[in-house]
Amino acid sequence: MTAKTLKLSQVIALETDAKHRVQPALTKIHKATQKAELYAGSTATYECTREGEETYPPKKVKVRLVAEEALAEMSEHWVELFDRTAAKDFGNCAEGARADVVVDGEVLVEQAPVPYLLFLEKQFTDVRKAIGVIPTLDESEDWVLDEGLGYHRTSDPVRTHKTKKVQRGLVLHPPTKEHPAQTQLISEDIVVGYWTGTKFSGALQAARKKALLARVNALLGAVKLAREEANHTKVETADVGAKLFKYLLEG
């Protein structure tokens, strides 16, 4: 996209509009990403193994949230906010304390002014919090990425049995010529069928989450170093106060 030259008043208006839209959207997504149940899904079919027993229709729970999609959506909002704020801060600070944001030898932001570096520090702290609350895949299961779905499923179907309580007579003492048999009703669980199912999850792989947190920590570290460097910039003093108050008091 071709860069546009805008007046500072227009840039400020666009930044204000972006804040009003982006912050509520980010808050909504952030709240949703903390709910583990939204990432979970499953399918299951039932096989009855005893004649005359009840049968059941297939069960399905849809995955309602995929972590990678949520991260991509949040990133779109952050990109807009970062760009709008950059336009304002770079425009407001044509001269003054600046420094590059450098990660692994690559300059990601060139000659950023201190106000923008402070903005980035706060925002990346929020980004770290947002990533930190996203659940990871249950390590007790074996997961594979389903390319067609865009999220993970268990590698093998899981088969679980369904039981039913039935009562039967237990002979405590067999009958004799003098006494009838002594019996007692007892309950026991018998297998009446099997559920065969697959679990799905939109959560993050633990390794992926660890890598994301490492990257955001690297960005935060780079921003802090840039801020420290910029704050060591030498500036000329400006003697304006005396003139202003001389006018106020002696005018």
Residue 65, in any domain of the structure: yes
**pLDDT per residue over 108-167, tens digit each?**
999 999 999 999 999 999 999 999 999 999 999 999 999 999 999 999 999 999 998 887
**pLDDT value, residue 1:** 42
Cβ neighbours around 120 below 10 Å, total: 26
**pTM score, whole prediction:** 0.80
Tokens representing 191?
């297998």
- Is 246 contained in some domain? no
Tokens 């520090």 sit on residue: 121
Amino acid type, 52: G
Domain interval for residue 217: 17-48+57-160+201-236
What are the pLDDT tens digits along the chain (251 aa)?
456 777 888 989 999 999 999 999 999 999 999 999 999 999 999 999 988 888 999 999 999 999 999 999 999 999 999 999 999 999 887 677 899 999 999 999 999 999 999 999 999 999 999 999 999 999 999 999 999 999 999 999 999 999 988 877 777 778 887 778 777 777 888 899 999 999 999 999 999 999 999 999 999 999 999 999 998 877 666 787 788 788 778 86
Helix (H) or strand (E) holding 200: strand 182-201
Question: Comparing C-alpha atoms, which of 123, 108, 118, 113 is closest to residue 91?
Answer: 113
**What integer pLDDT is reported at residue 69 of this predicted model?**
97
At residue 175, φ and ψ (nearest 5 deg) are -70, 150
Q: What per-residue confidence (pLDDT) applies to 9? A: 87
Supply the pLDDT for residue 3: 60
H helices of the chain, where?
A: 8-33, 67-92, 114-132, 206-231, 241-250
Domain assignment present for residue 205? The answer is: yes
Structure tokens at 141: 């299961």
Q: In angstroms, rounded to a whole number, what is the distance separating the alpha carbons of residues 179 and 137?
A: 64
Please state whether beta strands 40-48 and 98-103 pair in parallel, antiparallel, or not at all (unpaired).
unpaired
The alpha carbon of residue 227 and the mean position of all alpha carbons in its chain are separated, in whole angstroms, by 28
DSSP 177: S
- Number of structural domains the chain divides into: 1
Per the domain annotation, does 247 fall within a domain? no
Contact present, 182 and 173 (Cβ < 8 Å): yes
Let me know if residue 141 belongs to a domain.
yes
CA 206 remoteness from chain centre: 12
Instruction: Share the mean pLDDT of the chain.
Output: 90
- Rounded to 10 degrees, the C-alpha dihedral 102/106/112/118 comes to -40
Residues facing residue 145 across a β-bridge: 152
| 40 occurs within a structural domain | yes
In a domain, 135, yes or no: yes
Question: Is residue 169 included in any domain, yes or no?
Answer: no
Contact yes or no for 40/141 (Cβ under 8 A): no
